[in-house]
Amino acid sequence: MSDNARPEIRFQGAGVSPGIAQGAIHVVRDDLDDVARYHIEPSQITNEIGRFETALIQTRVQILEMQQKIAESIGAKDAGIFDAHLLVVEDRTLIDEVLRKLEHELCNVDWVFQEVAANYAETLSKIDDPYLRERALDIQDVTKRVIRNLQGKAPKTFLALTEPHILVAHNLTPSDTATMNRERVLGIATDLGSRTSHTAIMARSLNIPAIVGLHDATEKLETGRHVLLDGTNGLLIVDPTPETLAHYGEIESRRVKVVTQLKELRETKSTTRDGRHIVLSANIELPDDIEAVAANGAEGIGLYRTEFLYLNRSTLPTEDEQYKTYRKVAECVSPNPLIIRTFDLGGDKLAAGTVDVSDELNPFLGWRAIRFCLENTDIFKTQLRAILRASAAGNVKIMFPMISGLDELRRAVSILNECKEELRRTGSAFGDATEVGAMIEIPSAAISADILAREVDFFSIGTNDLIQYALAVDRVNERIAHLYEPTHPAVLRLLKMIADAAHANDIWVGVCGEMAGDIALIPLLLGLGMDELSASATLVPRVKRAVQSLTIAECRQLVDETLKLQTPSEILDRCLELANQRYGDLLG
């Protein structure tokens, strides 16, 4: 009774893995000792090197064991998260720097290693890219593990907990998440983290409700408190009242019912109530993601991000290597389409050691994507030939990212035609009628969409960047994240401009950004005339249900009304009104 007498306390974070969990919390605080710096004699260097090598070997064995566990329980794709960890313990540059510093400064190897690794991590953490910033956490994770081994520490105690609990931590490393007792972890909540953090990725893979970005929850909470965790809305509720528990009990029973209904939609078509078929595709990043495409009832792949072939490696992928990867994906989804986006690398997203680039102050506005490809035609041609060869095995389409105007588009198409000629000369089979599209994600491309539409087979709108560029809002900057508004009147007008230009020139238009997976905005996209929607595979059933619940007539009327509204909130409210009428249970 005393617990129930306490006032309810709510912590707001970011929900990154949906679902509701309830139970006692276990608060994790790092038990690593501070690494002291002390002088060693030259005669002790050999002994320090031996300690270091032993710790690296121990760490490598531990990482390989975790990979094996993950591969067996939730699949090889997620085990790949630890490839970056292995690279750290095998990185000769880092190891050589530790040995050099050890001999030069004559101090203990654990302190030297911590210093060198911290410098590496700090450099990565300053890069303006969420993916690469997360790699800094990989280094920090491995550093702690190596130091733990150097200090002779046992694995973290919370990993062996046998009672059901909700884990609350300042930050969870990938190895924490991989080795914890998943049968006993009901939910996860961390002070740090983002939607792209490994904690979020792993929690979603394990189907564990999770919240990140709680800031200081670990400082204010003690192990044993009873909480309710809402991984959908990012709420951690301490000492929930009976009313709160009753409210969430209703939500959970509705959620279970909705999930059951959505599973039944897998084999159905995404056709509106008045008979208009909307192609519903999935976005993927890795070949292993293909299974989720069919499992969730998508009609092919609307965006295959190829840059992950280039990251975490020291050499560029060969034409044959790429061809085999693309062909495998094309064969799996055939006869449905596979739209391959040529790689969006450059600026802040270059594979280390593969291409020489200088730092850029503004990488998102810099030398990336099609701009980089047009200046590195050998790399570009290697990829284009691989895609063309794969197109002989399935319905493959090519899409150029970050097109800003006609000159870039024409140069890209010209290089593609050169690749076709090269393949003809060598007698290589390829799909000569491969459709070519432009990603519309820069305002200049949206405004001149009528010019670009005459020279391609389709448009796919990258709403993430289009909104970011149109509103001058960096999506990963927490201070201004509230200004990133998909329903801004300017964004609505740009989307209409693109769709109208496509249809006036008899080409189809799709959306492959996050807007396509936001069921609150599906009425808006259908009313604007989008022919295709491509979202994360797990969101496809929800989007399908939304499409099946609407008529094109009511969606067009919605667009007519919203074009007269003046603020993002007014437009969003009107969208939500229609969405709630047609599929309110999905929004809840």
User: Does the pLDDT of residue 92 top 60, yes or no?
Assistant: yes
Q: Give the pLDDT band (50/70/90) at residue 359.
A: low
Per-residue pLDDT tens for 405-417? 999 999 999 999 9
Phi and psi (nearest 5°) for 39?
Answer: -75, 145
The answer to whether position 156 is within a domain reads: no
**Across 111-120, 122-131, 535-544, least confident range:** 122-131
Do 429 and 563 lie in one domain? The reply is: yes
Please name the residue ranges forming H helices in 156-272: 174-179, 198-206, 217-220, 242-263
Indicate the number of domains in the chain: 3
Where among 209, 243, 277 does a domain terminate? Answer: 243
Do 458 and 581 lie in one domain? The reply is: yes
User: Does the pLDDT of residue 201 top 70, yes or no?
Assistant: no
Per-residue pLDDT tens for 13-53? 988 888 899 999 998 866 555 677 888 889 989 888 988 98
The answer to whether position 264 is within a domain reads: no
Identify which has the larger pLDDT, 133 or 517.
Answer: 517
Q: Which distant-in-sequence residues (6+ apart) come within 8 Å of 156 by Cβ?
A: 28, 31, 176
Q: Note the pLDDT of residue 393.
A: 92
Q: Note the pLDDT of residue 315.
A: 74
Do 432 and 312 lie in one domain? The reply is: yes
CATH number at 435 reads 3.20.20.60
Q: Note the pLDDT of residue 2.
A: 45
Closest CA to 30 of 176, 179, 152, 234: 176
Q: Note the pLDDT of residue 327.
A: 95
Active site residue 512: yes
Do 192 and 291 lie in one domain? The reply is: no
Entry pTM: 0.67
Q: Note the pLDDT of residue 410.
A: 98
Identify which has the larger pLDDT, 121 or 205.
Answer: 121
User: Does the pLDDT of residue 487 top 90, yes or no?
Assistant: yes
Q: Note the pLDDT of residue 510.
A: 98
**Across 18-27, 188-197, 432-441, 543-552, least confident range:** 188-197
Query: What is the share, in percent, of the chain residues with pLDDT greater than 70?
Result: 86
User: Does the pLDDT of residue 361 top 60, yes or no?
Assistant: no
User: Does the pLDDT of residue 1 top 60, yes or no?
Assistant: no
Q: Of 170, 373, 488, 512, which residue is the catalytic one?
A: 512
Do 137 and 168 lie in one domain? The reply is: no
Q: Note the pLDDT of residue 66.
A: 75
Q: How far apart are CA 396 and CA 389, in angstroms?
A: 10
The answer to whether position 262 is within a domain reads: no
Do 217 and 283 lie in one domain? The reply is: no
* Mean pLDDT rounded to a whole number for the chain: 86
* Cβ neighbours around 37 below 10 Å, total: 13
Q: How far apart are CA 553 and CA 560, in angstroms?
A: 11
Do 124 and 210 lie in one domain? The reply is: no
Strand (E) or helix (H) holding 542? helix 540-549
Q: Note the pLDDT of residue 205.
A: 61
Do 371 and 422 lie in one domain? The reply is: yes
Where among 100, 118, 150 does a domain terminate? Answer: 150
Q: How far apart are CA 563 and CA 566, in angstroms?
A: 8
Active site residue 104: no
Burial of 533 (0-12, 13-18, 19+ CB in 10 A): buried
Per-residue pLDDT tens for 275-302? 999 999 998 877 777 888 988 999 999 9
Sheet with 235-238, side-by-side order of all strands: 9-12, 235-238, 226-230, 20-28, 165-169, 185-190, 210-212, 14-17
Q: Note the pLDDT of residue 348.
A: 42
Per-residue pLDDT tens for 146-177? 888 887 765 566 666 778 999 999 888 766 77
Mean pLDDT of 304-311: 78
Give residue 462's domain range: 269-587
Where among 227, 243, 259 does a domain terminate? Answer: 243
Q: Note the pLDDT of residue 351.
A: 44
Q: Which distant-in-sequence residues (6+ apart) come within 8 Å of 317 by Cβ?
A: 309, 310, 325
The answer to whether position 46 is within a domain reads: yes
Q: Give the pLDDT band (50/70/90) at residue 219.
A: confident
The answer to whether position 253 is within a domain reads: no
Q: Give the pLDDT band (50/70/90) at residue 505.
A: very high
User: Does the pLDDT of residue 352 top 60, yes or no?
Assistant: no
Query: What is the share, in percent, of the chain residues with pLDDT greater than 90?
Result: 49
Q: Note the pLDDT of residue 292.
A: 85
Per-residue pLDDT tens for 65-87? 777 776 766 665 566 667 777 77
Do 190 and 126 lie in one domain? The reply is: no
Q: Note the pLDDT of residue 325.
A: 92
Q: How far apart are CA 538 and CA 242, in angstroms?
A: 33
Q: Note the pLDDT of residue 507.
A: 98
Mean pLDDT of 184-194: 87
Mean pLDDT of 249-265: 84
User: Does the pLDDT of residue 4 top 90, yes or no?
Assistant: no
Do 356 and 472 lie in one domain? The reply is: yes
Q: Note the pLDDT of residue 170.
A: 84
Please give the C-alpha separations between residue 178 and each of 130, 199, 309, in angstroms, as whole numbers: 21, 10, 24
Q: Note the pLDDT of residue 24.
A: 94
Per-residue pLDDT tens for 456-484? 999 999 998 899 899 998 765 556 767 87
Do 75 and 215 lie in one domain? The reply is: no
Do 170 and 134 lie in one domain? The reply is: no
CATH number at 47 reads 1.10.274.10
Q: How far apart are CA 182 and CA 208, in angstroms?
A: 9
Per-residue pLDDT tens for 535-570? 988 889 999 999 999 999 999 999 999 999 999 999
Closest CA to 262 of 21, 517, 548, 515: 548
Q: Note the pLDDT of residue 264.
A: 85
Q: Note the pLDDT of residue 347.
A: 45
Q: Of 85, 198, 555, 575, which residue is the catalytic one?
A: 198
The answer to whether position 36 is within a domain reads: no
